[in-house]
Amino acid sequence: MLAALLAALLGATLLTAAGRKIADPTGTAVAAETYGLRGRAARSVWPALAALEAGLAAGILAAAAPAALAAAAVFGVFALAQAAAIAAGRSGAPCGCFGARGRLSWWSVARTALLAGAAALLGLSAAGAPSPLVATIGALGLVCAIVLRARGPGGALDVEGEGPALGTRPALGDDVRLAFFTAPGCRLCRALTPQARRLGASVFDERADAAAWTSAAVPGAPFAVALGADGIVLAKGTVNTRRQLVSVLATARARDRSHPQASSRRGFLASASAAVAALTAGRTIGSLVAPGAADAFHFCGHIYTTDGCPHPTGLPRIDRNGLPLRARDGKPVDDLGRLVDAAGAPVDESGAPLLDPDGRPQPLARRRRVCLAAGRRYKIRTQTEGSWYRCCDGHVRKLVDCCTTNSSRRINGDRALRGYCYRDHKVFCVMYFQTKVPC
């Protein structure tokens, strides 16, 4: 029985990790930067890891002792890599343990080491091989429990001032019911395009369809706009998954009181898709936030209002560890907004130490993670969770939600929003991280 339980635990862990890497390759590539991988190397590592984890899970559930020993070695390497990253000062960065989720900490190292020990115990156990059927059933049950407990955002990200306003009529064409906006080289867009077409969407490229982009005031790709039969905008938002794309259709259907009849094959497909979405999306409809309910700023450099997390230099740009960076050039700053060197000492624009009136180097100031500093300032518990991705200036830009676990308000005093953070947590404020992953 012990062998079956260990096999179920290890199989579920590996299957969940592989599944989340496949479901969120962009987030996994961003997390790979924690371990020093950049650009295309970060993009190419996740398929190999996902395949390795899935193969090890299959071997363990099939009661193959070599697979368990191999899993022990892999977990051991993962634990060492995490420890090395923490020693390099990256504690709190995305660990990539389960796709884009999870944060690097000594707890994550201990957890990975425990999994390595469990795999070694299973591989060396003299108690006999576990029952493949029992282990598989147990693993599938654990996978379901893990997925249900840590649900990510289901609705599209709809921010005031981004995209066409509800009720307007952008020049997208008479038969367009769902518009999907993509950018050249955007892999996330390319992955979603076939699913968007199956939902009846018209695809607009940033270069080839520049006039449509301008007419719809699209902030960045991938972005979706749902329209009524008269061309009026009913719903919109940034989408990273098919579920979020469906949420735009579902919300449009819920807002459309007239339910017009389609006049073309494309219109029929879009209307049918919206009807199916309205029946199947369920709570997804409610998680698409209406314009005006979420003040934020445009992370691709055009629109800024007041809903970012407090930051010493204004725009809440962060590094992979969540520490503050100056937005215009990505240089590190302390909590007073001063540039700092690698040791944390304040410096001027040329890199020379800042001196006090007596000619002595100025003392160090604290440099705290932006999300945690926001929580301490407002006396609530906060942690980084939900993420959204846009293709900006040729690289992936990660929009990071700072979520609260014990407050029902946002940083500007409005009621906090559900749908972006995991579990039942709520968005308190937002930040962004400029990666080196090409898009």
| Structural domains in the chain, sorted by start | 2-149 (no CATH), 178-287 (3.40.30), 317-438 (no CATH)
Task: Put the strands of the sheet holding 382-392 in their side by side order.
Answer: 324-325, 317-318, 426-438, 395-404, 382-392
- The percent of residues above 90 in pLDDT, for the chain, comes to 14
Alpha carbon distance 170, 211 (integer Å): 10
Q: For tokens 């219109």, name the residue.
A: 267
Taking the whole predicted model, whether its pTM rises above 0.85 is answered as: no
**Whether the Cβ atoms of residue 416 and residue 409 lie closer than 8 Å to each other:** yes
Q: How confident is the model at residue 434 (pLDDT cuts 50, 70, 90)?
A: confident
Q: How confident is the model at residue 298 (pLDDT cuts 50, 70, 90)?
A: very low
Q: How confident is the model at residue 338 (pLDDT cuts 50, 70, 90)?
A: very high
Q: What are phi and psi of 80, to 5 degrees?
A: -65, -40
Q: What is the mean pLDDT of residues 336-354?
A: 90
Alpha carbon distance 155, 316 (integer Å): 24
Cα angle for residues 39, 41, 43 (degrees, 5° grid): 75
Whether 179 has a pLDDT exceeding 90, the answer reads yes
Whether 268 has a pLDDT exceeding 90, the answer reads no
Task: Give the per-residue pLDDT at 365.
Answer: 86
Tokens at 299, concatenated: 């992370």
Q: How confident is the model at residue 28 (pLDDT cuts 50, 70, 90)?
A: confident
